[in-house]
Each structure stands twice: as structure tokens, then as C-alpha cells.
Amino acid sequence: MMYSASEYRRRIQHTIYPLKYSEYVEKYADEFGLDPYLLYAFIRTESSFEPDAVSTAGAIGLTQITEETFSWIKLMLCPKEDIVFEDLYNPETSIRFGAYYISRCMNRYSGSVDTAAAAYHSGWGTVDKLLERQGTETLTEFPYTQMRNYVYKINKAYTSYQEIYLNKEGV
């Protein structure tokens, strides 16, 4: 079967920027007031949609949450639910917890994707110290290479998701 250049490009884009776990992404993006494409960008950046992903820091699941962050989210979101850290290997649980945490980061940092991404990656304490030093409400500079690269990746993925899927042609 022959594809046109635009169809071929669209298929490649959909492979590189998939909409996996859309049922959960849509549900929890809606529940926590997030753009679903932003949530897809975080999942793609964090785990490449691999539910069994584990980082060198011990973060697990699609949204790569550490045990410390899991405990805090559980306390805030669902203290009475019988959920343990390892349940983050379940795509729905990971997306639910990740969406909640991203929404808290977005709310805390005035809706700034850059600052929220930096906080998701490096923690609120690190970002708060940088904001104090910069004297701003959102980060304008990212002094740490890993943080800067992470914010870049989130923005690139988010922009790509919007360009691909908001334009129904995907080109």
C-alpha cells in the first residue's frame, strides 16, 4: 500500500507522539483541570509510555513518581484508599497520581508550564529557592542542566502533541 507524503508523515508523528492510555489520560486530565496533551507530554518524557519504567532515583510507573512523592499524593488525594507505592505500575493509578501532581504544580506556579515542569522534575523546594533568588513568580532561568533539558523536553513534547492532534490532518 502506498501512502502520500502527508499520510506517511502523520503516521510517523503518531508513532513518535502516541495517545496511549487515552481513557485514563482524558479522565484524569479532566478531573484535575489539565490539558490532556500536557499530560501526554509528561508521560512520554517520563517513561515513553512504559508502565514498568523505573528511574535511577527509584521513581516508577508511567509518570515516574518517587515513593516520597507517592506518600504525599496519597495523603492529599486518597488517604483512605488501599493503595501502595507499587500500584504505580498500574497505568490508571500512575496517570491519576501524575495528573494530580502536575495539576498541583501548575496551580502552585501560576499555570507556568516551564515552572511546573521544573518543579515536577526537581521538587518544589528547589524551584521555590530559585524563584526567591530570581525574584519572580515563575522561572525565567534554569541554572541546572538536567532541569533545563527536562523543561525543554516537556515543552517540545507538549507543542508537538498540540500541533499534531489539534490539527486533525496531523501534518
pTM of the model: 0.94
Q: What CATH number does the domain located at 5-166 have? A: 1.10.530.10
- For residue range 117-137, list pLDDT tens digits in order: 999 999 999 999 999 999 999
**Model confidence over 51-97: pLDDT tens digits?**
999 999 999 999 999 999 999 999 999 999 999 999 999 999 999 99
Supply 61's cell numbers: 510507573
Domain ranges within the chain, ordered by starting residue:
5-166
**DSSP letter for each residue of 23-70:** HHHHHHHHHTT--HHHHHHHHHHHHTT-TT-B-TT--BTTTTB-HHHH
